[in-house]
Structure 1
Amino acid sequence: MSNDQKLEAKYGLFTAISMVIGQVIGSGIFFKVDDVLLATQGNILAGLLGFIIVGISVVFAGISMANYAEILPKEGGILSYVNYRFGDTAAYFVGWMYMSLFYPALTAVLFTVSGIYIAHLLAEFMNFSPTALHFGLIGFVNLVIFFFVNILRPRSSGIFQQMTTVLKVLPLIFIASLGILSLIKGDVSEVNTFSQVGSGMQNQSFILLVAASFIPISFAFDGWYIATQISGEIKNSSKNLPKALIIGTISVMVIYISYYLGIVFRMSGEEIIQLKDTYITEFARKIASNSGALLMQLFIIISVLGTSNGLLLATIRVPYQFSNLEKSKKFLNLHKVNEKTKMPVNSAIFGTVIIIFYLIIYYFTNSISFFTERNFDISAIPIIFIYLVNGALFLGLFQLFRKKIFSRNSFLKKVMAIIAVLGIVIVLFGTASTPNGIAYFLINIIFLLTGFLLMKKK
């Protein structure tokens, strides 16, 4: 790429840090705490250690990913890094997984979550009991609305994204502050202490309980790497992007752990498990009556819709990006940009259809006893994929180290990469040790193999 094509460096360190924090903090932390405690059988200490381990893993992963941003300052994103390090074929399969599984599955999950919170809010004013069907239908309506907003009013969509980035951090900080005050004042009951394992629940090895928490926690931490997409637009990117990834991921880890403590210091693990995704509403009701619960629900709904819209923005463009890869077959004119809207409309429609497919799948996995009894979670499947890709990229750094690609801090970079790889291994091993872990890995392999269907043959 010639110098005249280089993206203008217009963003400073603060914007880059905001990008990291804004992309990670979303809806995941709100609706995954109950899943964490379900996985740990109500053991809040196991959940806390899970947050710390995954958080540290993410911090070192961010540091190591910044190495690619340092040598590819004009273009960012994992797809570009995979192409640089492993070639066109590897980039094709990552692009295929992005289009067929990663982005649409996560987007479907989050739009369904928006349906969960909206349905429970409506249930407070209307006489009905929310079900998985309500969640899916409301999520579908939200998807359709935001699809047309992104196609017809993309500027409005961008403004909504900026607004929600600020709003979704406020309740987290507020709840974290409550937990700290409770601890200082000494009004934390025994049931909310780290010694409480979860009475009446099946006893398991403490290490396995910690490992079981990795899947839902990894979902909550996902998204930090999206900041690498704007690496070419960050001033002094080789220095500021690594700083942003370090400061941003550490900030998220501190906020998440504080939020988790703020919740479990005031509600027992068993109570959170019983309430499921509505635990946060009841938490707000305890501290600020019905008006507080209503306000908290509105904050969460806005946060979830903001995160959902952000993923939709990416998902509707992924088929376009995939179709333009060197190894991809052209089909359905996905590689075309509409002259009137300046948007890849065919790509947007195709991506939205895939999201709808996953909305249906997510409905079935949350309503059929075969899946609910096994706590099957389709959101874990794409998270495993991205951890595998990141792990491959971190391992790929060592050949670059041998080639002396990096002139500065080579030893420190190696140490950071080793820790990042260990973090990936620990999280993936913990995931594989869970009851559904192997099934999640197998589904990823099946999806990967189906990618051969759309691959160019030479």
Structure 2
Amino acid sequence: MDHNPSFKPSLRLIDATMLVAGSMIGSGIFIVSADITRNVGSAGWLIFVWLITGFMTLTAALSYGELSAMYPKAGGQYVYLKEAYNPLVGFLYGWSFFTVIQTATIAAVGVAFSKFMAYLVPAVSEDNILLKIQMGVDSAGQARFFTFSAAQLVSIILIFLLTFINTRGIKSGKLIQTTFTLTKLLSLFGLIVFGFIALKGDVWHANWTNAWSLHSLNKDGSFSTYTTIAALGAIASSMVGSIFSSDSWNNVTFIAGELRNPKRDIALSLFFGTLIVTIIYVAANIVYTAVLPLHEIAYAAKDRVGVAASQSIFGNIGTVIIALMIMVSTFGCNNGLIMAGARVYYSMAKDKLFFNKAATLNKNSVPGYGLWIQCIFACLWSLSGKYGDLLDMISFVVVVFYMLTIIGIFILRKKHPNAERPYKAFGYPVLPILYIIMGLAFCILLIKFKPNYTWPGLIITLAGIPAYYLIMRNQKPADI
């Protein structure tokens, strides 16, 4: 394939940082605080959940810097796992990434764009059902239907549009990413500033009077206390939302081959991007507690805390402001996810572990085939309507792969002690070990208290084992 175009290293540090921040910030920060508040029941613990998630994200990002400097090429985490362990472990990550992690996230972010667009254009609402087909009956004798809403249609159009733009070359995707990420960062900053200006003293005092009382908050305003172990389970359950909202920071590692100075800029962009987003997330949640009573955060309509907060800050126009903010946020987020994801499939295909055509670059020096096959799979998730459930279930698997990758730092230092390491993991070995301990605690608590969040994602990942050996037996996957 020597005749194929090669990646064009055209991304600067600012572009890489915007990819990190832009891929992280979607719609989660405006929504998941409702579920967190229901679980922990107090302002202090709400902020603590975001702080501990931010600490874990920063720690992981600082650790990944060493790996990205060692292997500054397309594929990122897939490459790190393959080098530290073996091709099977790398494939299982790539398999999970393609089947659910990236494609279902693209679908979910696309539908989130549609849901908030519906505030401005009601015709694209998820309640506007365009197609309804009966698909049989369930065990209780109730009819089951396949429905297709206007929101799903808009999501599919958005995914196709951004995929097409990214097939035109890295510069097209870069322009959208940097522009939209800067716009949403400034918008969030504005929301935070105006939120503090609009601070309601009585609301703030009420929310922070018993800020460290950990309990579940019921819809009628009552509380339910936890045992010590159950309290830990509640924190872990809460972190499913905050971890999902803080995920995809590693997308910049997938496009290392297109950075001008990857050995330096990936590590720096990981640090700056995750730090910026962590500060914004914590500040936004403090604003929520400054303008909304705790019960209104926990039980905001359809969990849309951002809408409720914006209405409190700006009045009726707040709904339009937050809808526009989230549309900008999700548009830029999906662009980053789409841009980065195809580079993983490219690396897998180079190793004969994905469709052969995904190993080629188009005339614009981007993996066009990988972009389109990712597009098709993401659109199928949009059609299914099941992406939200799967994303809850996959949070467990995402953290498992993060832990395996960070353990890989220790393995690679032993396997290749003399390898060039332009950047070494900050705080090694203390911070990487601390992340592994925290991640392990999170996963164990989810297995115990939220098994429905763990086993489905694990089953999807393990299904990749027979797929891997089938591919290896045939030496290469069939062309499409």
Q: TM-score range by the shorter chain?
A: 0.7 to 0.9
Please name the residue that 1:291 is paired with: 317
Structure 1 window deviating more from structure 2 (81-90 vs 48-57): it is 81-90
Q: 1:10 to 1:211 in 2, by over 3 A?
A: same
Kindly indicate whether the alpha-carbon contact (under 8 Å) linking 1:46 and 1:206 is maintained by their aligned counterparts in 2: no
Q: 1:269 to 1:378 in 2, by over 3 A?
A: farther
Counterpart residue identity of residue 200, structure 1: S
Q: Secondary structure of 1:265's match?
A: helix
Please name the residue that 1:51 is paired with: 50
Please name the residue that 2:83 is paired with: 84
Please name the residue that 2:242 is paired with: 217
* TM superposition shift of 1:182: 5.8
Unaligned runs of 5+ in 1: 367-376
Please name the residue that 2:139 is paired with: none
| 1:427 counterpart = 2:442 | yes
Q: 2:335 aligns with which of 286, 290, 309?
A: 309
Counterpart residue identity of residue 27, structure 1: S
Structure 1 window deviating more from structure 2 (100-109 vs 153-162): it is 153-162
TM-score, normalization by structure 1: 0.81
Q: 1:136 to 1:201 in 2, by over 3 A?
A: farther
* TM superposition shift of 1:42: 4.2
For residues 325-353 of structure 1, the C-alpha deviation after alignment (integer angstroms, 9 at most, x for no partner) is: 24x2656x4445555x6655543333222
Q: 1:283 to 1:228 in 2, by over 3 A?
A: same
Please name the residue that 1:144 is paired with: 160
Please name the residue that 1:398 is paired with: 410
Q: 1:166 aligns with which of 170, 174, 182?
A: 182
Structure 1 window deviating more from structure 2 (252-261 vs 277-286): it is 277-286
Please name the residue that 1:275 is paired with: 301
Q: Secondary structure of 1:300's match?
A: helix
* TM superposition shift of 1:410: 8.7
Q: Distance in 2 between matches of 1:298 and 1:280?
A: 12
* TM superposition shift of 1:13: 5.5
Structure 1 window deviating more from structure 2 (218-227 vs 446-455): it is 446-455
Match runs of 1:175-324 below 5 Å: 175-181=191-197, 186-193=201-208, 195=210, 198=217, 199-204=221-226, 205-229=230-254, 241-272=266-297, 273-316=299-342, 318-324=344-350
| 1:27 counterpart = 2:50 | no
Q: Secondary structure of 1:222's match?
A: coil
Counterpart residue identity of residue 51, structure 1: W
* TM superposition shift of 1:65: 1.2
Q: Distance in 2 between matches of 1:126 and 1:28?
A: 20
Please name the residue that 1:372 is paired with: none
| 1:359 counterpart = 2:358 | no
The aligned length equals 437
Q: Distance in 1 between matches of 2:209 and 2:178?
A: 37
CA-based RMSD of the aligned residues comes to 3.6
* TM superposition shift of 1:358: 1.4
TM-score, normalization by structure 2: 0.78
Q: Secondary structure of 1:121's match?
A: coil
Q: 1:356 to 1:325 in 2, by over 3 A?
A: same
For residues 149-203 of structure 1, the C-alpha deviation after alignment (integer angstroms, 9 at most, x for no partner) is: 44468754442222111111123222333454466x8443454336275333544
Q: Distance in 1 between matches of 2:33 and 2:77?
A: 28
Q: 1:236 to 1:156 in 2, by over 3 A?
A: closer
Kindly indicate whether the alpha-carbon contact (under 8 Å) linking 1:93 and 1:451 is maintained by their aligned counterparts in 2: no
* TM superposition shift of 1:108: 0.8
Counterpart residue identity of residue 222, structure 2: G
% identical equivalent positions:
21
Q: 1:162 to 1:50 in 2, by over 3 A?
A: same
* TM superposition shift of 1:47: 2.2
